[in-house]
Amino acid sequence: MIIMKFGGSSVADADRIKHVAEIIKLFVDKKPLVVTSAMGKTTDKLLHAVEQALVGNISIDEIKESHYAAAEKLNVDKSCIEPLLEELCRLLSGVSLIKELSLRTRDYLVSFGERLAVRIIAAYLSQTGIKAKAFDAWDIGFTSNSNFTDSEILDETYHRINDCLGNLGSDYAYTPLITGFIAKDVNGNITTLGRGGSDLTASVLGAALNVDEIQVWKDVDGILTTDPRIVSSAKPVKNVSFEEASELAYFGAKVLHPRSILPAMAKNIPVRVKNSYNPDHEGTLILSHIENDSELLRVLTFKKHVTLVDIVSTRMLGQYGFLAKVFQIFDEQEVSVDMLATSEVSISVTLDSKVRDMDSLRAELEKVARVTIKNQKTIVTMIGNVGHSSEIMAKTFEVLKQNAINVQMISQGASKVNISFIVDDSEAEKCIKALHKAFFENSQADF
Ligand code: ADP
Ligand code: ASP
Ligand code: MG
């Protein structure tokens, strides 16, 4: 069995869905389980609709039209999505009445995108001769915690999926079409797994059923050397290790959801990133180990809008006490740290922009340290064979010097595949372009 996951751009309209059906047909012998995202930009449109409902405007016209248009063009009976569209409309009316939106309701609202998509696609596939059945992820066991908008999958999901679909391998009578991105918590509330969460759905499903391969179909020829929206000449990378893929997703490469690689990695299931607009291209294969690896760098990523916090001990505590206290404060304030550098009396960390209460964090830290908080920073991360770190660093510093880019903190992750440093947000693009040129565009680059 294999997993085939199609992102929003792959199922954006009727023509794209027809194309996806052709791709699925090529793999029917491998018994695919298909995961899909919402069609095109439906998730953004749902978020916009709910913002409008909050100020009294209830309209799902655009969402309705795009889904009805697709159904019509695919010759699919609209009755398979009508009840959902009515439910969505009632929900938006409720929001506009109470003029309040909890994160729980927000997740319920955005869940409609994926639920509409699987119903249309499954109906169309069945018509074209691929017998298919649509599932909302919770119907096959997807259970998460209640951290609405960024929920984590609970371990019990794995055996629940097996209870529901465990026999499918030997008794494969239909192609399951499963909603990406969504789950339910133990109280039955709908949750979402964070933006881009369909990648995670695919990986969890693949790990639970121990499939042969997880394919994620996107609109690019695989994982590229950097974000193509910054460097249009970025090139696809043939192979990436699980560890590298996990780090690049975590450190900002938008191509994969940050937590999506871990389930596949735990079961050693290869993940193939492919382009539904160019299916003949081999894409990127993510696997445990890369043979004959001579490349210095694999991918350059960046994460903008992070906060840099410098914490200098006031020496009220000894060194052990100081480090312990600082991390205890992060723990109590539920703040997670991306990058870290320490000396005997100081710690520098980066936090993402989602810290709930920066004032309270600062107040707690100031009980034991002098604290400086700097906003609008970017983490630039170089993913690759960091066994050659001195060569990479020498070249990097030369590029930064030539381009007069100021570096504010450097850290080499314990993962051995990641070197990260901080620059100002305003210099991030210049930095990525210059490094890409030096490392990927010309081995003798005149940077
Ligand atoms: P999907 O919706 O199919 O999951 P996404 O839009 O989430 O697709 O991810 C693909 C997009 O990620 C690409 O169109 C590209 O703009 C962006 N991207 C950012 N960094 C990279 C990278 N290093 N390699 C490939 N794509 C990247
Ligand atoms: N539809 C969701 C989003 O736009 C999930 C996904 O695309 O993976 O974030
Ligand atoms: Mg995505």
Alpha-carbon gap, residue 99 to 5, rounded angstroms:
36
Q: Is residue 303 a contact partner of residue 363, using CB atoms and an 8 Å limit?
A: no
The answer, yes or no, to whether residue 436 has pLDDT greater than 50, is: yes
Assign 173 to helix, strand or coil.
Answer: coil
Superfamily name and number for 297-441: VC0802-like (3.30.2130.10)
- DSSP per-residue string spanning 381-419: EEEE-GGGHHHHHHHHHHHHHHTTPPP--EEE-TTSSEE
Asked if residue 223 has its Cβ within 6 Å of ligand 1, the reply is: yes
Alpha-carbon gap, residue 175 to 155, rounded angstroms:
25
- Cross-strand pairs, 176: 133
The answer, yes or no, to whether residue 326 has pLDDT greater than 80, is: yes
- Rounding to the nearest 10 degrees, give the CA dihedral for residues 286, 135, 220, 263: -20
Assign 182 to helix, strand or coil.
Answer: strand
Q: What are the tens digits of pLDDT across the range 349-379?
A: 999 777 778 999 999 999 999 999 999 999 9
Q: What are the tens digits of pLDDT across the range 268-294?
A: 999 999 999 999 999 999 999 888 777
Q: What are the tens digits of pLDDT across the range 75-115?
A: 999 999 999 999 999 999 999 999 999 999 999 999 999 99
- The CATH class that applies to domain 2-218 reads alpha beta
Asked if residue 220 has its Cβ within 6 Å of ligand 1, the reply is: yes
Asked if residue 43 has its Cβ within 6 Å of ligand 2, the reply is: yes
Which pTM was predicted? 0.94
The pLDDT assigned to 170 comes to 78
Name the residue with the closest Cα to ligand 1, atom 21: 227
Question: H-helix or E-strand containing 86?
Answer: helix 82-98
Asked if residue 194 has its Cβ within 6 Å of ligand 1, the reply is: no
CATH 3.30.2130.10 domain locations along the chain: 297-441
The answer, yes or no, to whether residue 69 has pLDDT greater than 90, is: yes
Query: What's the rounded mean pLDDT across residues 245-270?
Result: 96
Asked if residue 37 has its Cβ within 6 Å of ligand 2, the reply is: yes
Query: What's the rounded mean pLDDT across residues 125-146?
Result: 96
Quote the ligand 2 centre to 396 CA distance (angstroms).
34
Ligand nearest to the CA of 198: 2
Reading the block at residue 213, the tokens are: 């391969």
The answer, yes or no, to whether residue 328 has pLDDT greater than 90, is: yes
Ligand nearest to the CA of 253: 1
The mean pLDDT value of the chain amounts to: 93
DSSP letter assigned to residue 60: -
Quote the ligand 2 centre to 111 CA distance (angstroms).
10
The answer, yes or no, to whether residue 445 has pLDDT greater than 80, is: no
CATH 3.40.1160.10 domain locations along the chain: 2-218
Quote the ligand 2 centre to 195 CA distance (angstroms).
5
The confidence band for 166, taking pLDDT boundaries of 50, 70 and 90, is: confident
Q: Is residue 364 a contact partner of residue 333, using CB atoms and an 8 Å limit?
A: yes
Alpha-carbon gap, residue 195 to 369, rounded angstroms:
36
Alpha-carbon gap, residue 315 to 298, rounded angstroms:
42
Look at residues 189, 207, 82 and name the one whose alpha carbon lies nearest to residue 138. 189
Q: What residue ranges in 265-296 does DSSP mark as E strands? A: 271-275, 284-287
Q: Is residue 74 a contact partner of residue 20, using CB atoms and an 8 Å limit?
A: no
Quote the ligand 2 centre to 180 CA distance (angstroms).
8
Alpha-carbon gap, residue 32 to 208, rounded angstroms:
14
The pLDDT assigned to 62 comes to 95
Q: What are the tens digits of pLDDT across the range 218-234?
A: 999 999 999 999 999 99
Q: In what order do the strands lie in the sheet with 418-424?
A: 337-342, 346-351, 297-313, 369-384, 418-424, 410-412
Alpha-carbon gap, residue 129 to 205, rounded angstroms:
24
Alpha-carbon gap, residue 171 to 165, rounded angstroms:
10
Atom of ligand 2 nearest to the CA of 197: 8
Gyration radius of the chain over CA positions = 23
Q: Is residue 180 a contact partner of residue 35, using CB atoms and an 8 Å limit?
A: yes
The confidence band for 446, taking pLDDT boundaries of 50, 70 and 90, is: very low
Ligand nearest to the CA of 107: 2
Can you say how many angstroms the Cα of residue 387 is from the centroid of all Cα atoms in its chain? 27
Instruction: Tell me how many degrees the CA angle 50-218-51 measures, rounded to the nearest 5.
Output: 10
